[in-house]
């Protein structure tokens, strides 16, 4: 089984490749960023059960794409034909469902700024999950990792604030009301479920193709959720018409990109970095900015996707991208002898070879 890329064999043998991992992580962020703008129209036109059903159908349609690599079909069959893997697949479904339920219960009534703050804490939770489940420590130098996280987090929050159409006084009142009356605190550990799912797939199915492992997860999810949605919707849902077709098509495209391709890239990033979930998830802080950029052209046809491209927005965008780029360069410098001197000094004197760096880019 192989990853996409020239250095995959070395990664599989246990030598983390942070240059490749950063590329996969940023690709994951770009793909996940497509979900919100491409599903916005469906979220407004479709009821919850139709939305769920079409999402699951899209995931099933992605399976042939996930199995296109050599050996992926064999690994797919091997996973399902091994009874010891069945409880693991059910557990992964439960983890994913728990995250979605918690999001709906805790954040559906919360202020968008609070929701953004909760979701942007995902690198912290992902690093904690990797530490507890896999014994993976924070990448060193820790000051670089923590500093990059704080700056990128601030940038992501600035991007979120730049999209709020209200005056400062009203914003403060709305935030205070949401802090006191919504269930936002329940959602604080919500990013744990996404990170835990990725880490468990890495731990349980690292001997198999990533696409095959994700395809198995999609099958289990569809087998459970599509009949459940059909049962709950029986006789109570208005029929769809041709006016809903654009929303459904965009939902299918967004789901294929984010949930299918994005999830495979996420697993590939974890494999490339030896399950350094904190490092990989750091790049997810770019999702709000990328999503806004994708929304700009779509806003011509979907009015709900209006994006405010103020100086405030671009300042936040810069604060996100600059530390992420620096983090990727520092990680690469830990494994490259021809890196610029200022990067080599950032990781010296404790730099060591990639084959031994299973606890971070340096130790």
Q: What is the mean pLDDT of residues 68-91?
A: 90
pLDDT in tens, 260-282: 888 888 888 988 888 888 888 88
* Mean pLDDT value of segment 213-238: 78
Residue 12 has pLDDT above 50, yes or no: no
Ordered DSSP codes for 132-187: HHH-PPPPSSHHHHHHHHHHHHHHHHHHHHHT--S-HHHHHHHHHHHHHHS-GGGG
Query: Would the CA dihedral through 70, 76, 77, 79 be positive or negative?
Result: positive
Residues 92-123 have pLDDT tens digits of 999 888 877 777 666 566 666 777 777 788 88
**Closest by CA position to 263, among listed 106, 77, 38, 34:** 34
- Closest residue by Cα to residue 261 from 61, 94, 53, 119: 61
Query: What would the pLDDT profile of 115-165 be if each residue is shown by its tens digit?
Result: 777 778 888 888 888 888 877 777 667 788 888 889 998 888 888 877 777
Angle formed at CA 73 by CA 70 and CA 77, multiple of 5 degrees: 145
Beta carbons of 78 and 213 less than 8 angstroms apart: no
As a whole number, the mean pLDDT across the chain is 77
Label each residue of 251-263 as H, E or C: HHHHHHHHHHHHH
Domain boundaries, the chain: 16-353
**63-67, 249-253, 334-338: the lowest-pLDDT one:** 334-338
pLDDT of residue 110: 63
Decide if pLDDT at 2 tops 70.
no
Segment 319-347 shows an average pLDDT of 71
pLDDT grade, residue 88 (50/70/90)? very high
Tokens for 106, please give them: 């805790």
Cα separation, 41 vs 166, in Å, equals 23
19: Cα within 13 Å, side-chain hemisphere: 12
The answer to whether residues 127 and 133 touch, using CB atoms and an 8 Å cutoff, is: no
């Amino acid at each position: 089984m192989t990853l996409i890329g020239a250095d995959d064999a070395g990664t599989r043998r246990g030598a983390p490749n942070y240059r490749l991992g950063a590329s996969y992580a940023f690709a994951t962020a770009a793909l996940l960023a497509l979900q919100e703008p491409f599903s916005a129209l469906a979220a407004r036109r479709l009821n919850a059960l139709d939305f769920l059903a079409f999402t699951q159908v899209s995931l099933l349609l992605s399976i042939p794409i996930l199995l296109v690599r050599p050996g992926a079909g064999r690994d797919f069959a091997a996973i399902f034909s091994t009874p010891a893997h069945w409880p693991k697949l059910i557990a992964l479904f439960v983890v994913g469902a728990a995250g979605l339920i918690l999001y709906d219960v805790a954040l559906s009534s919360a202020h968008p700024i609070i929701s953004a703050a909760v979701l942007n804490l995902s690198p912290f939770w992902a690093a904690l999950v990797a530490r507890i489940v896999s014994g993976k420590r924070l990448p060193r130098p820790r000051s670089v990792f923590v500093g990059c996280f704080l700056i990128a987090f601030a940038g992501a929050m600035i991007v979120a604030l730049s999209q709020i159409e209200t005056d400062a006084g009203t914003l403060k009142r709305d935030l205070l009301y949401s802090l006191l009356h919504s269930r936002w605190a329940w959602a604080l550990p919500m990013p744990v479920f996404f990170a835990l799912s990725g880490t468990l797939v890495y731990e349980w199915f690292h001997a198999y193709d990533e696409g095959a492992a994700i395809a198995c997860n999609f099958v289990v999810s569809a087998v459970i959720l599509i009949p459940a949605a059909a049962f709950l919707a029986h006789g109570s849902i208005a029929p769809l018409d041709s006016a809903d077709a654009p929303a459904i098509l965009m939902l299918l495209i967004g789901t294929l990109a984010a949930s299918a391709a994005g999830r495979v890239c996420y697993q590939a990033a974890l494999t490339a970095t030896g399950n350094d979930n904190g490092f990989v998830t750091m790049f997810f802080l770019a999702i709000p900015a990328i999503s806004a950029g994708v929304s700009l052209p779509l806003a011509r046809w979907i009015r709900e996707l209006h994006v405010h491209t103020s100086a405030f927005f671009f300042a936040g965008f810069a604060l996100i991208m600059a530390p992420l780029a620096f983090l990727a360069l520092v990680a690469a410098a830990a494994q490259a002898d021809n890196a610029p001197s200022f990067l080599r000094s950032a990781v010296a004197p404790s730099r060591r070879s990639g084959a031994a760096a299973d606890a971070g880019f340096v130790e």
